[in-house]
Amino acid sequence: MMIRSVVVGCGSYLPARVLTNADLAKIVDTSDEWIVERTGIRQRHIAADDEKTSDLALNAAKAALKHAGMTADDIDLIVLATATPDETFPATACRVQAGLGMTHGFAFDVQAVCSGFVYALATADNFIKAGQARAALVIGAETFSRILDWTDRTTCVLFADGAGALVLKAEEGKGDNTDRGVLTTHLHSDGRYHDLLYVDGGPSSTQTTGHLRMLGKEVFRHAVVNLADVVKETLAAVNMQPSEIDWLVPHQANKRIIDGTARKLGLGTDQVVLTVGHHGNTSAASVPLALAEAVADGRIKQGQVVLMEAMGGGFTWGSALVRW
Ligand code: UT7
């Protein structure tokens, strides 16, 4: 017997404003053709001026709770992944906690940029398995539009805003792969690669928020290798074969990276949840946004095996294998 973190609900929120590739071509020297061919992105959502990361997160959290048939009273942990917090401190998770009317339990942020949701999920799973939480909200929420250099065509066409959330609940399992819930998680980082993807500001360095800087080609190269490695490691840890995966729900940075990962696993395109085309890269929000979409439209069903993976600034990368 062992405690498992079972997914009992999920939800998401996208800001109303949609920015198309054609809109971007009016701001920087780019084209719909280039963006679609190199990334798969066609449009993305951008937060309204008065919408903060915590607002997006709160909407996603409420949707996830509703889907689970639970209320904030049932939750005792909130782990929120973001690289674009409302403020330097306190944690955006505490804003969400207050927004839900929760005065019990504990809430904190994790910072692993695009790998943030996988990090948050692993963290919440470990608190649940350790018996320190019974039910958790795991949220990925970002307003990347606020840290983009809108004059840099190599980055401003890629990133976007949004939020997604899961509700995890402690349930007793047998301890084998047939259990529902989080089966295994794997996290990695390597700080040597800071300069390939970072924000050139912060409270302790420049006292400004700064802008995202990325050497995309280099990041791409590392992503392909690191994601293949972590996927291999994940399946080996639970002695499962790629053929046992029902759904790949990857971080949505680039369709070409996602296609490559799916090909290596021998998964058909109909087994990959692909949202990069209409969401862009929403960093920590991309995996839960994709999950929520595929659950809402009936693709992901209870009992199925879902592989999540992500790679981002740090570098950070990781995975989570979940039986829904
Ligand atoms: O989520 C965190 C992890 N991030 C990622 O995984 C991102 C990984 N990287 C990528 O997705 C890709 O590398 C990009 C989409 C960022 C870039 O695609 P690429 O195929 O690697 O293109 P490139 O950077 O090699 O650029 C090719 C050309 C360059 O022109 P030259 O030097 O060949 O004349 C760029 O200046 O495309 C040019 N270019 C653009 N052209 C039109 C770069 N950005 C644009 C643009 N519109 N927006």
Q: What is the mean pLDDT of residues 135-151?
A: 98
What does the DSSP 8-state code read for residue 188? Answer: E
Identify the residue whose C-alpha is closest to ligand 1 atom 44: 154
pLDDT tens digits, 63-77: 999 999 999 999 999
281 carries an active-site annotation: yes
Residues 6 or more apart whose Cβ sits within 8 Å of residue 140: 80, 81, 82, 116, 117, 120, 163, 164, 165, 282, 283, 284, 285, 286, 287, 288, 289
Identify the residue whose C-alpha is closest to ligand 1 atom 47: 30
Q: What is the pLDDT of residue 151?
A: 98
Give the residue, out of 36, 111, 220, with the most ligand 1 atoms within 8 A of its beta carbon, to mutate for a pocket test: 220
Q: What is the pLDDT of residue 16?
A: 98
- The percentage of residues in the chain with a pLDDT greater than 90, rounded to a whole number, is 100
Half-sphere exposure of 95 (CA within 13 A, CB side): 21
Structural domains of the chain in order of their starting residue, each with its CATH number = 1-324 (3.40.47.10)
Q: Model confidence at 159, in pLDDT bands (50, 70, 90)? A: very high
pLDDT tens digits, 8-45: 999 999 999 999 999 999 999 999 999 999 999 999 99
Mean of all residue pLDDT scores within the chain: 98
Supply the pTM of this predicted model: 0.98
Q: Model confidence at 222, in pLDDT bands (50, 70, 90)? A: very high
Q: Is the dihedral of CA 71, 82, 190, 256 positive or negative?
A: positive
Q: What is the pLDDT of residue 24?
A: 98
The Å distance, Cα 161 to ligand 1 centre, comes to 20
Q: What is the pLDDT of residue 43?
A: 98
pLDDT tens digits, 176-187: 999 999 999 999
Q: Which of 62, 131, 45 is nearest to 96 (CA)?
A: 62
Q: Which class for 209: exposed (0-12), middle (13-18), buried (19 or more C-beta within 10 A)?
A: middle
Which amino acid, residue 174? K
